């Protein structure tokens, strides 16, 4: 794993957005794996700014998002469809039909998982997967205990995850209990992965990631077995690490 420590969230967003822009410029028909949550918001802002100022084009890019809540309509302000529209898709030239997100309202959710998995295969896999990390070590919505070989599946969200995400809703009762997520096995098939960790709330999980063996109670630990992972962490997130900073 390559580890890049940066000063703060702003620098993290700059490093991450530059990596994405470089890939898109080098291979305009790349498939990008995208994440939601608080972590990537600033990165998407910089991608939009770069698109406006320098014209980086997403006309040929395909995107696949990690996850979506079950039961929220695409236009629900807390759905990840809505999030992506607000933060990125409406501000760049990515054709709508090339932006893929699991459908949390599908009649047959199992079939939707299979469809999504096949879609990723048809796209020949993800070239660069962006990941955040939950305080319990989840990646996507793969909670502790998820099989490392899992494919896209329905997950019952951990109460700690619902509580962490409550900040985006009016009350805890509104936070969905289930989501569709790419599996850990799906994520691990990505050709390269960029794990972004910022803020003091992530300091413990980042330390655990460095110190603990690979085990499925810490889903992100499997990333140590991936050949092309870069972790970008800010000083606050790295504050419990005992390794020298670069
Ligand atoms: O970036 P945040 O909001 O801290 O969330 C971390 C991770 O948790 C999730 O939001 C799911 O709870 C992921 O989508 C994200 O990568």
Domain edges within the chain: 2-240
pLDDT of residue 244: 55
State which residues of the chain have pLDDT below 50: none
Strand 153-156 with 178-181, pairing: antiparallel
Q: Is any atom of ligand 1 closer than 6 Å to the C-beta of 141?
A: yes
The 10s digit of each residue's pLDDT in 45-103 is 999 999 999 999 999 999 999 999 999 999 999 999 999 999 999 999 999 999 999 99
Is residue 218 within 8 Å of 195, Cβ to Cβ?
no
pLDDT of residue 243: 64
C-alpha 92 – ligand 1 centre gap (Å) = 23
Angle at 119 between CA 115 and CA 124, to 5 degrees: 150
Of the candidates 228, 146, 241, the residue with the CA atom closest to the CA atom of residue 202? 241
DSSP state of 158: P
pLDDT of residue 242: 87
C-alpha 164 – ligand 1 centre gap (Å) = 9
Any idea which residues carry the catalytic annotation?
67, 136, 138, 143
Question: What backbone torsions phi and psi does residue 196 show, to the nearest 5 degrees?
Answer: -110, 130
C-alpha 36 – ligand 1 centre gap (Å) = 6
Give 2-240's CATH code, choosing from 3.90.1150.10, 3.40.50.1360, 3.40.50.720, 3.20.20.150. Answer: 3.40.50.1360
Question: What backbone torsions phi and psi does residue 2 show, to the nearest 5 degrees?
Answer: -90, 135
Is residue 234 within 8 Å of 199, Cβ to Cβ?
yes
Which pair of tokens denotes residue 100? Answer: 């893929």
pTM for this entry: 0.96
């Amino acid at each position: 794993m390559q580890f890049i420590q940066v000063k703060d969230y702003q620098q993290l967003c700059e490093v991450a957005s530059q990596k994405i822009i470089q890939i898109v410029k080098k291979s305009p028909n790349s498939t990008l794996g995208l994440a939601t949550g608080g972590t990537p918001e600033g990165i998407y802002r910089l991608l939009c700014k770069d698109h406006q100022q320098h014209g980086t084009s997403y006309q040929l890019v395909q995107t696949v998002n990690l996850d979506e809540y079950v039961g929220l309509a695409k236009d629900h302000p807390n759905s990840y469809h809505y999030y992506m529209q607000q933060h990125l898709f409406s501000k760049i030239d990515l054709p709508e039909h090339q932006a893929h997100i699991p459908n949390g309202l599908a009649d047959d959710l199992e079939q939707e998982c299979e469809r999504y998995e096949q879609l990723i295969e048809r796209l020949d896999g993800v070239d660069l997967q962006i990941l955040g990390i939950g305080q319990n070590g989840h990646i996507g919505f793969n909670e502790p205990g998820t099989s490392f070989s899992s494919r896209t599946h329905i997950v019952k969200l951990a109460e700690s995850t619902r509580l962490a995400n409550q900040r985006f809703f009016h009350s805890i009762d509104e936070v969905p209990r289930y989501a569709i997520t790419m599996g850990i096995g799906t994520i691990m098939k990505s050709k390269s992965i960029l794990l972004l960790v910022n803020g003091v709330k992530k300091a413990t999980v980042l330390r655990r990631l460095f110190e603990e063996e690979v085990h499925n109670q810490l889903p992100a630990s499997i990333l140590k077995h991936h050949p092309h992972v870069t972790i970008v962490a800010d000083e606050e997130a790295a504050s419990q690490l005992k390794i020298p900073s670069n």
